[in-house]
Structure 1
């Protein structure tokens, strides 16, 4: 007989002992059950659940200029599911024209209306289709975040460069007539040999140049203000921020406002937090990403005790399970159950939601995030196979998340914030509806290779 079958056969007996357990003291319970870890809150800040971010693309989405229309057809359902924003790929014309994913930018003001780089439309569509998508998203209550690539450029013509003594591909004369640039605007130049990092051999923009600052964020028709005021983007995802100093993002944000997040690909929490504070921006929580990979694929849930950006600075942490550049975590549904119940701003990858995972389970987790997951976090228990944490509640009653990576059903006594209250599992993975004791303790369970999420009825 399977463990699960034995478990349900004994369910009636367990429930019949409820009155006996309810008369036990906390000390008596912990003598019978393994003690939990300290319930000290990891972060004293509470976060307002603003929603969930959708990364609305993946690498090499279908070419042919129809991607904006594809996303346009989905924004209503995404809004209904509980997303609050979408992140689009780099939207302007790049060197590879209709074949480019946008990370080799040429003309920041060509969204698919000029015949250059071998095409009029971008890989994703036309300017009109992009504007229609943004309008549709706004009508559905969704914000739209632009992917901003300002470390490097591509597609310039060759010119003699006195700073290198060679010809360089640094002569940019886009058909939009806006933000022309030459060797003076790239590294090396008369004021700076290099900044923090070049990428892929592309010409590396010098952000200390007045001409570059004016066209990126200072002028009334700068890239930042054009994206904000003409194209109506609401926020920014900054690509490869390791390549330049954080003051660049800070200046951009001061110029136009809006949400921003930086791609600082590093697992060092202190570095992530330093950058976020210096840039006045959120940052992707790569420390959390690496810890989840070790925890869920390495079969050691104690790795979730590691320090992460959301634990150090939750209001500036964007958590994620995968993205267009990296897809290492295989136990994805457990990872999503983690980021959608913990602090930080969770980002969901398009293909995970639309193609690879159970959408009903994802929608359930999104609902739980938006309705139950608030307040500070306390880790109640962890070992190789089990992890239990409590969100202590802010404008809702909070929750308990129980993740079980073992091959068997697991049960454990834990301390809640609820006294003499009926609770239930909001995932439907357990049919139990136990009553917490007057001392707030209760036994909960989780299925093998699964999770349960508990809160008051």
Structure 2
């Protein structure tokens, strides 16, 4: 979430499926190697984790109700490029109505059909346009990941609160007629006097209340089941999971299934790994993100030698270079994509990077490399300030060797491959070498300045 923007807007206004666990669709092999779990594909959709996820929005996408149509127009091209799932912004009506990016949820069941919070449509469009977008994605084999905000709500009316002795903005009367809320459903209440997950002064949902659990995931008409069965969502990105216990995600997922990933914004690998175990879900690999920032912004590729979630548990790691909250890796960003698209974990690419900021041909090439060559466990072969070389050992494919060069000149190195007396080539086209590996599997490869090469069997 763009926290400062959201807090500012909100404070101003207050003053005035039956899929079974489509987990990352990878199975852990020895040394953290992964492969797609094709058993969880449903209805002709690509197995989540067999390709690459697209974050299909950015902060402040155009207002005016056009975004669902924009996404619909792109899903065929994304699918052809090797995308297997799209992650879309919070889809339901929020306090800031036609201007909200959705992270201040008010009515979980209003997808752009009720005249409340200043508009009928959401910022992204109407309910019909949302369902058309989901259907278009499905027709092109893509799963659709819903962004779910469960920690806090916004836009309630003021009411006397017996637990605080004053008035709080906790009286929620959504026009959909579903999931009315009052002070008892938030912290503080008769269950907890406070909650460490409170965020930005917003009313903070209490997940220990049976009523809240029933409406969020347990009832036949719960938010989770409505999103899955009526709208057609296939999985979940849980916002701000630091605000509530991991069992919430686990219970939600166990009730309705679907791929699940949490936004645990923390670089501590042990914390990320522990959360994924407790939640039985994946997490965005913020440890990897910050190490890439150190490597590419700090011009020291040695940082890539440090620990990351994908090294700890690749089957639970969702890697990324940029998202709607943060875009700090600016120098040689394509090198960061070369890193995540050749390494373990489930990589996510960012809409603006793909559609506007970076070379789409190079991005498509890296997506193809990820989907066709980047299998098996990983061995780091060389790392220093300017150079990084790693080998993927292959799983139902030949594997690859990636050479990232952050210096201003061509670099060459002898490395040990898995291929004996075999002709190899650079699948990026950056080098025209086609060397033959020695009988002992050694070969000399090269990489251009401030760029990369990816080598595999010709």
TM-based fold match above 0.5: yes
2:347 is the alignment partner of 1:346: yes
Q: Give the Cα separation in 2 of the matches to 1:361 and 1:193.
A: 53
Partners of 1:326 and 1:45 in 2: how far apart? 29
Give, in angstroms, the shift of residue 199 of structure 1.
Answer: 1.2
The residue number in structure 2 matching 1:280 is 280
Give runs of ≥4 in structure 1 deviating > 4 Å. none
Give the whole-Å Cα distance in 2 for the aligned partners of 1:196 and 1:397: 48
Q: CA deviation at 1:42?
A: 9.3
Correspondence for 2:190: 190
2 CA distance for matches of 1:44 and 1:332? Answer: 26
Is it true that 1:47 corresponds to 2:48 in the alignment?
no
Listed as ranges, the matches of 1:246-325 within 5 Å are: 246-325=246-325
> Which residue is equivalent to 2:242?
242
Match of 1:442 in 2: 443
**Structure 1 CA distance for aligned equivalents of residues 150 and 431 of structure 2:** 49
Q: Is the 8 A contact 2:32 2:313 kept in 1?
A: no
CA distance in 2, matches of 1:230, 1:305: 45
- Aligned match of 1:217: 217
> d(CA) in 2 for partners of 1:196 and 1:169?
19
Aligned twin of 1:146: 146
Please say if residues 47 and 314 of structure 1, whose CA atoms lie closer than 8 Å, have aligned partners that are also in contact.
no
C-alpha root-mean-square deviation of aligned residues, in Å? 1.0
Counterpart-to-counterpart distance in 1, 2:275 and 2:50: 23
Could you tell me which residue of structure 2 aligns to residue 9 of structure 1? none
Unaligned ranges ≥5, structure 2: 1-28, 37-48
Residues 265-314 of structure 1: CA distance to partner in whole angstroms, max 9, x if unpaired? 00000000000010010000000000000001111111000100000000
Aligned residue for 1:261, secondary structure, equals: strand
Q: Distance in 2 between matches of 1:203 and 1:389?
A: 47
Matches within 5 A, 1:42-121: 43-48=31-36, 50-121=50-121
| CA displacement at 1:197 relative to structure 2 | 1.1
Q: Is the 8 A contact 2:97 2:118 kept in 1?
A: yes
Residue 370 (str. 1) matches residue 358 (str. 2): no
SS in 1 for 2:31: coil
Q: Give the drift of 1:200.
A: 1.3
* Equivalent in the alignment of 2:408: 407
Q: Secondary structure at the match of 1:295?
A: helix
- Answer yes or no: is 1:417 the counterpart of 2:405: no
Preserved CA contact (<8 Å) 1:47 1:343: no
Show the counterpart of 2:13: none
Q: Which moved more, 1:320-329 or 1:190-199?
A: 190-199
- The question of 1:452 aligning with 2:453 is answered yes
**Corresponding residue for residue 397 of structure 1:** 398
User: Is 233-242 or 49-58 further displaced after alignment?
Assistant: 49-58
Q: What whole-Å deviation, never above 9, does each CA across 1:91-143 have from its counterpart, x for those lacking one?
A: 00000100100000000000001111110000000000000000000000000
Q: Distance in 2 between matches of 1:239 and 1:307?
A: 24
The Cα shift of 1:194 comes to 2.6
Aligned to 1:43, what secondary structure does the other structure show? Answer: helix
Contact kept, 8 Å, 2:33 with 2:344, in 1: the verdict is no
Match of 1:385 in 2: 386
- Which structure has the larger Rg over C-alpha atoms? 1
Q: Which residue of 2 aligns with 1:204?
A: 204
Residues in 2 aligned to 1:183 and 1:101: alpha-carbon distance in whole angstroms = 25
Distance 2:296 2:354 in 1: 19
**In the alignment, what sits opposite 1:7?**
none
User: Distance in 2 between the 1:392 and 1:429 partners?
Assistant: 22
State the alpha-carbon separation in 2 of the partners of residues 438 and 393 from structure 1. 19
Distance 2:356 2:390 in 1: 29
8 Å CA contact 1:185, 1:205 repeated in 2: yes
Scaled by the length of structure 2, what TM-score is found? 0.90
Q: TM-score, normalised by structure 1?
A: 0.90
Report what 1:359 is aligned to. Answer: 360
User: Any conservation in 2 of the 1:389–1:400 contact (CA below 8 Å)?
Assistant: yes
> Which residue of 1 is the match for residue 156 of structure 2?
156
Q: What does residue 177 of structure 1 align with?
A: 177
The aligned counterpart of 2:20 is none
Q: What is the distance in 1 between the residues matched to 2:34 and 2:53?
A: 19
Question: Larger deviation: 44-53 or 89-98?
Answer: 44-53
Distance in 1, Cα, partners of 2:385 & 2:30: 20
